Amino acid sequence: MPPSDASSTLVSRRAFFGQTSVGLGALALAELSSHSPLLADQDVAAVPPERWPGVVRPLHLPPKANRVIFLYMAGGPSQFESFDFKPELTKRDGQMVPESLTKGQPSALLQGRALTCMGPRAKFRKWGQSGLEISEFFPHTGAIADRIAIVRSLQTDQINHDPAQTVMNTGTSISGRPSMGSWALYGLGSETDNLPGFIVLMSKGGRPPQPLSSRQWHSGFLPGRFQGVELQSFGDPVQYVRCPPGVELSRQRELVSTVQALNRLRGEAVDDPEIATRVSQYELAFRMQVSVPELVNLADEPQHVLDRYGTQGGDGTFAANCLLARRLAERGVRFIQLYHNGWDHHEDLTKYMTQCAAQVDKASAALILDLEQRGMLDDTLVIWGGEFGRTPMAQPPQILGLGDDLGRDHHIRAFSMWLAGGGIKAGTTFGRTDDFGYGVEQDPVHVNDLHATLLHQLGIDHRRLTYRFQGRDFRLTDVHGEVVRGILA
């Protein structure tokens, strides 16, 4: 008897698929084997996933960089103990800050309090032939002074960590927008079949860290295939990257192939782009079962390279992650972001700056030298910095009651970063702050300008890399951003 209503029809369909699932799997495998040597007892990783070619074809500009490594100091390192020497603060240490300087300006924790100047807690010296002034907290960075450009006039919009990190990573404080790594991958595509094109590595040290949200490397409204993939610092970098006990890689391949074929059938039926993303990511996940263990096996690294970074690998440190960043760059990963969390120094500034600088200084410099020796620095853009800087005013420890010595509050009107490689003019400084380091006197650089410059070095005009969403064309720099030409070679 024919079905009399929709529910009966639904049951019949379920029964049909249940009874014919083996046949569909066989058909899927047959379809796949028609263009794959995989099922003919050949290399289990022989079928590359569909590689995203990028939407910027041809490139808008001659590229100077092919990839980006962003060394992100989460929490906001103090420019006064790193890259912006202010003798006037030393002279006025402990004196009241002129009211005209700070009146009407926001602060995170110093609002409504007496404001006193706080001199640098480190000595500065001139390094290299360029004579860049860098604090003695960072001797290894000082040793590569002739290879970096310091920007001392960065500015941002948000004074608290999470929204400021969102600005630095996505160009706006509005949650749900794509991150800069996602934009770069969307625009340029990937150069690797075996690893994600955008990878995130995490480490921490110094003051107890602020939480970091995964939306900082999310793809937002871009398709999910452009999201950053976090590799774990301890144990297996990716959960379940190894086959279960008793399962050979060839059997895993058969399972993935069957699921892939079924996903393709569904994708053809409903035309959902996220299914295409799922197909691509399933394939990539399978190939990572081979590529990731090889990536983190440092047996082929000479001892002098490990010593240069200050790691034996696999220890979850920033140094280990810097070495992995170089290996990822060699393997064609487009955007690599290293977060070192622990720079929120509201108290015990000298203690925590000493700790944090020691954790990142040597490895950051080692990465630059390693890339240079391998002929990769010229086309790798390396950026070092956090979401904002710190105040020239002292923050008494009793405000938070967590430490014994002075710290510095959040500061958004002026902070420092450095860049290297990828067409950056080495051995230079750009921008100037006032005598107190409170505001910018010359060549302000907003975060949107930094993003415009990053894309420019990759060969992309930031105004032309857009994505239509909810009736509007969005871009990383929104309606802002100018290329910072003063730091370009």
Which candidate, 434, 414, 416, 410, places its Cα nearest to that of 106?
Answer: 410
Q: Is residue 211 part of a domain?
A: yes
CA-to-CA distance for 214 and 170, rounded, in angstroms?
A: 12
Q: Is residue 9 part of a domain?
A: no
The mean-pLDDT minimum among 45-54, 144-153, 329-338 falls in 45-54
**Tens digit of each residue's pLDDT (9 = 90 or more) over 249-308:** 666 666 666 776 776 777 777 777 666 666 566 566 656 777 788 888 888 999 999 999
Stretch 215-231: mean pLDDT, rounded? 94
Q: How far apart are CA 451 and CA 171, in angstroms?
A: 8
DSSP string for residues in 447-464? HHHHHHHHHHHTT--TTT
pLDDT of residue 247: 61
Per-residue confidence (pLDDT) for residue 254, from 0 to 100? 64
- Predicted confidence band of residue 10 (pLDDT cuts 50, 70, 90): very low
Judge whether residue 32 has pLDDT over 70. no
Taking residue 417's Cβ as centre, other Cβ atoms within 10 Å add up to: 26
Confidence band of 48 (pLDDT split at 50, 70, 90)? low
Q: Assign 267 to helix, strand or coil.
A: helix
- Whether residue 338 has pLDDT greater than 90: yes
Q: What percent of the chain has pLDDT over 70?
A: 81
Report the residue count for the chain: 489
User: How confident is the model over 56-60, as a mean pLDDT?
Assistant: 97
Q: Is the per-residue pLDDT at 3 higher than 70?
A: no
* CA atoms of 252 and 263, how far apart (whole Å): 17
Q: Residue 21 — pLDDT band, cuts 50, 70, 90?
A: very low
Judge whether residue 472 has pLDDT over 60: yes
Q: Do 450 and 416 touch, CB atoms closer than 8 A?
A: no
Query: What's the CA gap between 456 and 453, in Å, rounded?
Result: 5
Alpha-carbon gap, residue 434 to 455, rounded angstroms: 29
pLDDT at 399: 77
For 2-32, b/e burial (b = at least 16 CB within 10 A) is eeeeeeeeeeeeeeeeeeeeeeebeebbeeb
Note whether residue 215 is domain-resident. yes
Q: What is the pLDDT of residue 279?
A: 58
Which range (1-15, 73-87, 162-176, 427-441) has the least confidence? 1-15
Reported as type and span, the H/E element at residue 11 is helix 6-33
- Say which residue, 176 or 250, is predicted with more confidence: 176
The residue with greater pLDDT, 228 or 30, is: 228
Provide the pLDDT for residue 331: 96
Mean pLDDT lowest among 33-42, 172-181, 273-282, 394-403: 33-42
**241 against 164, higher pLDDT:** 164
In a domain, 284, yes or no: no
Q: Which helix (H) or strand (E) holds 269?
A: helix 249-270
Reply yes or no on whether the pLDDT at 208 is more than 60. yes
Domain count, the chain: 1
Side-chain half-sphere exposure of 182, counting CA atoms within 13 A: 27
pTM of the complete model beyond 0.95: no
Average pLDDT, stretch 321-348?
A: 97
Segment among 13-22, 231-240, 248-257, 376-385 with least mean pLDDT: 13-22
What pLDDT is stored for residue 237 in this prediction?
Answer: 63
CA-nearest of 428, 426, 445, 301 to 368 is 426
333 pLDDT above the threshold of 80? yes
- Domain span including residue 157: 67-240+303-487
The position carrying tokens 């760059």 is 329
**Residue 59 is assigned to a structural domain of this protein:** no
The structure tokens listed for 141 are: 């960075």
Residue 37 domain flag: no
Q: With a cut of 80, say whether residue 417 has pLDDT above it.
A: yes
Long-range residue pairs from 454-457, CB within 8 A, at least 24 positions apart, any chain: 454/68, 454/180, 454/184, 454/381, 454/383, 455/183, 455/184, 455/187, 456/61, 456/483, 456/488, 457/63, 457/64, 457/65, 457/381, 457/422, 457/423, 457/424, 457/488
Does 38 map to a domain? no
Mean pLDDT score of the chain: 86
Among the ranges given (125-134, 164-173, 200-209), the one the predictor scored with the smallest mean pLDDT: 200-209
State mean pLDDT over 374-390: 98
Q: How confident is the model at residue 233 (pLDDT cuts 50, 70, 90)?
A: confident
Instruction: Assign residue 394 the CATH number of its domain.
Output: 3.40.720
**For residue 28, is it within any domain?**
no
- Residue 26 is predicted with a pLDDT of 38
Annotate 369-402 with DSSP letters as a single string. Answer: HHHHHTT-GGGEEEEEE-S-EEEEEEE-GGGTTS
Whether the predicted pLDDT of 182 surpasses 90: yes
Instruction: Tell whether the torsion through CA atoms of 387, 392, 397 and 399 is positive or negative.
Output: negative
